[in-house]
């Protein structure tokens, strides 16, 4: 496994090597040491490679990931896995604000807590947070799943479209047009699948509540025609 020391190798050089790889390349697993809070580590991966980062990172780690498996053995700054397309990103520590923002696919696992706006404008990504999440999470979430084993802050799911939210703990408040919904068998099955993928054990999907859109904000209502 090639090892890159970011106290010696430039971040630009490391990311360029990842971008130059083709599917089936001999080197498909990399280790990064001394990340020292660098921004944009392992962004733009578009091949099925594995990257283990030994330490904490700054902004936008693993952004635009498309097929890679990136594990941060530490915490991550704002925008981790932003606009992810596919693959898996795992944060062993905490994640700062807007983790998984605009993500269109793949799985983001945060084993600590996530700050505000987790999953903002999510478009198909699945996010599993082992701890708590901050305010305005899943704001304008369009599709995908947000699973929270801990508590959720204010305005969860504000202006939500069709993303599905599952929270095991308490919710400080729900955002505009977000309501609690029935947990049907298909939701139990999907939640069980996500928990297994995220390595969650000894937690039952029946312990969660589901939240979703009341579908009042984004539908035209003839009774409100004079307001348009």
Structure tokens at 223: 């009774």
Residue 150: its pLDDT value, please?
Answer: 98
Residue 181: its pLDDT value, please?
Answer: 97
For the stretch 75-123, pLDDT in tens is: 999 999 999 999 999 999 999 999 999 999 999 999 999 999 999 999 9
pLDDT at 24 over 70: no
Secondary structure (DSSP) of 137-158 = TTTT--EEEEEESS-B-TTBTT
Q: Is 89 helix (H, G, I), strand (E, B) or coil?
A: strand
What mean pLDDT do residues 29-53 have? 96
Q: How confident is the model at residue 220 (pLDDT cuts 50, 70, 90)?
A: low
pLDDT at 222 over 80: no
For the stretch 187-217, pLDDT in tens is: 999 999 999 999 999 999 999 999 999 998 8
Exposure string of 40-60, with b = 16+ CB inside 10 Å and e = fewer, is bbbbebbbbbbbbbebbbbbb
Order of strands across the sheet that contains 107-110: 3-5, 29-33, 50-54, 66-72, 86-91, 107-110, 123-129, 143-148, 164-167, 209-213, 178-181
Task: Using a pLDDT cut of 70, give the percent of the chain over it.
Answer: 94
Q: Specify whether the CB–CB gap between 21 and 44 falls below 8 A.
A: no
Q: Which residues pair with 176 in a beta bridge?
A: none
Predicted TM-score (pTM) of the model is: 0.94
| List of domains in the chain | 3-227 (2.160.20.60)
């Amino acid at each position: 496994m090639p090892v890159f020391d970011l106290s010696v190798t430039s971040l630009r050089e490391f990311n360029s090597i990842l971008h130059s790889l083709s599917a089936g390349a001999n080197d498909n697993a990399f280790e990064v040491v001394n990340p020292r809070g660098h921004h944009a580590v392992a962004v733009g991966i578009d091949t099925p490679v594995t990257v283990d980062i030994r330490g904490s990172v700054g902004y936008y780690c693993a952004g635009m990931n498309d097929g890679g498996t990136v594990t941060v053995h530490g915490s991550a700054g704002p925008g981790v896995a932003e606009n992810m397309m596919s693959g898996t990103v795992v944060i062993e520590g905490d994640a700062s604000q807007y983790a998984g923002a605009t993500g269109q696919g793949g799985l983001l696992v945060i084993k600590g807590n996530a700050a505000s706006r987790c999953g903002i404008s999510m478009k198909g990504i699945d996010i599993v947070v082992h701890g708590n999440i901050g305010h305005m999470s899943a704001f304008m979430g369009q599709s995908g799943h947000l699973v929270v084993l801990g508590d959720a802050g204010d305005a969860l799911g504000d202006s939500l479209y069709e993303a599905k939210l599952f929270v095991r703990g308490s919710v400080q408040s729900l955002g505009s047009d977000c309501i609690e919904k029935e947990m049907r068998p298909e939701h139990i099955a999907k939640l069980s699948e996500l928990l297994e993928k995220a390595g969650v054990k000894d937690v039952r999907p029946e312990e969660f509540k589901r939240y979703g859109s009341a579908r009042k904000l984004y539908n035209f209502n003839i009774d409100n025609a004079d307001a348009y």
